[in-house]
Amino acid sequence: MSASLLAPFAGLRVAPDRANEVLAPPYDVLTTAEARAAADGRPESFLHVSRPEIDLPDETPAGAAALYDAAAARLARMIEAGVLVRDSAPRFYAWRMEAAGRAQTGLVAAASLAAYEEGRVKRHELTRPTKVEDRARHIAALGAQTGPLLLVHRPDSEIRRLLAEACAGPPLCHAVPDGVVTHTLWAIDGADETHALTERFERIGALYIADGHHRAGAAQMAAQAMGAGTGEAAGRLLTVSFPADEVRILGYHRIVRGLNGLTSGAFLRDVGKALRCEPADAPVEPEAPGRFGMYLEGRWYRLAADGQAPAGGAVVNRLDVSLLARLVLGPVLGIVDPRLDARIDFVGGGRGVAALAAAVDGGEASVAFSLYPTSVDDLMAVADASAILPPKTTWFEPKLADGLVSLVLS
């Protein structure tokens, strides 16, 4: 058995009066153009650290050493200027996110990398080697993990009570960087509370990666590359774990370029053979599992997989993403592996179904599909079975913010 599943750490935190300037979306939810626009006029935005290409010439190749050097230099300047400050002793933190009348409160901790390798921090997605290598080099250059993994754990009344008590005191930081999502951070440094939380998570026994598989793989690769002399923190993962009943999953939609050589009429005919297909008068937000929306040539359609979900067998085979792949993407559009096929792309639910119509109307795609959200229970069931979800199955909203707290590896 590895070291404790979760441990406190001395966080590198944003100075409270600089949080609205610094906090930024996770590095992987924005395109380069979007990141550059979001950081424009914000010299202290953490995007200058997490996405250093926005400050370098467009011709800078991916993987160039200049990218990682620029990120490390920017982080060092922010520390020197007091924009980021290091805590003097290890502690846990409570992180609350509030948006649209909803709140979720999680524990910020350093999770055991050995536990991740043993399967106590459970994964459910495959990763792309180039993305893992990029973030591993980023971690090594910074000597820190700056992008936290979003984890979920099964609800536990004692953990909820301890976090609520922590949040009753004055916060370390309170910010609304995008004007929509409120991020609040509290310290948990009492010896009794720290011990109780450590022990309670040991009893739970397993955590589930909700968002951050590439960051986890990168931390593992960086630890191997940096060697054992780096310090105990190199064997840890920067994480925030929320109770499963507080997190919110939105649909993760699909857009496809081309119709696999079919005319629109032939494509509609083949889709109609696989699924019940009816024209719709408005954009389609699927209202239940087994229901889909489709946008083609300026028109929405309602699709239904009536009775086609297998009654038994692996949970992953019953998910809507699997049904769409098995009934339409594969046989009709010829997309066998969505991870590798350049014709398919994915649109997070936070952008709304209007983004699907915009992609088709703007010529970015030929057809779009809206999906009903996968449940957290299904995600955990897939992970418990050591199975793999199809790519881009879950979109968690709201997103954690980069820059609030980081894990320094020395």
Using the predicted structure, report yes or no on whether residue 98 has a pLDDT greater than 70: yes
Rounded percentage of the chain residues whose pLDDT exceeds 70? 99
For position 205, what pLDDT does the model report? 84
Span 222-247, mean pLDDT? Answer: 86
Q: What is the CA radius of gyration of the chain?
A: 22
Q: Band of the pLDDT at 237, cuts 50, 70, 90?
A: very high
Flag whether pLDDT at 254 surpasses 60: yes
**Phi, then psi, of 364 in degrees rounded to 5:** -70, -25
> Do residues 111 and 5 make contact, with C-beta atoms less than 8 angstroms apart?
yes
Residues 92, 194: contact at Cβ < 8 Å? yes
**Confidence band of 230 (pLDDT split at 50, 70, 90):** low
Tens digit of pLDDT for each residue in 56-77?
999 999 999 999 999 999 999 9
pLDDT in tens, 321-351: 999 999 999 999 999 998 889 999 999 988 8
> By C-alpha distance, which of 353, 373, 399, 13 is closest to 242?
399
3-state secondary structure of 391: coil
Q: Are 96 and 404 in contact (CB under 8 A)?
A: no
- pLDDT-derived band at 2, boundaries 50, 70, 90: low
Find, among 294, 265, 263, the residue nearest to 280 by Cα: 294
State the Cα–Cα distance between residues 163 and 388, nearest whole angstrom: 31
pLDDT at 231: 67
Q: How confident is the model over 152-172, as a mean pLDDT?
A: 97
pLDDT at 1: 45
Round the average pLDDT of the chain to a whole number and report it: 94
Q: Are 49 and 401 in contact (CB under 8 A)?
A: no
pLDDT of residue 370: 98
Token output for 150: 């979003």
The per-residue pLDDT for range 114-135, each reduced to its tens digit, is: 999 999 999 998 888 999 999 9
**Is residue 275 over pLDDT 60?**
yes
Please report which confidence band the pLDDT of residue 234 belongs to, taking 50, 70 and 90 as the band edges: confident
- CB-based contact 59:211 (threshold 8 Å): no
The pLDDT of residue 312 is above 90: no
Q: What pLDDT is stored for residue 112 in this prediction?
A: 95
Convert the pLDDT of each residue in 201-211 to its tens digit: 999 989 999 99
CB 303 within 8 A of CB 271: yes
Whether residue 136 has pLDDT greater than 80: yes
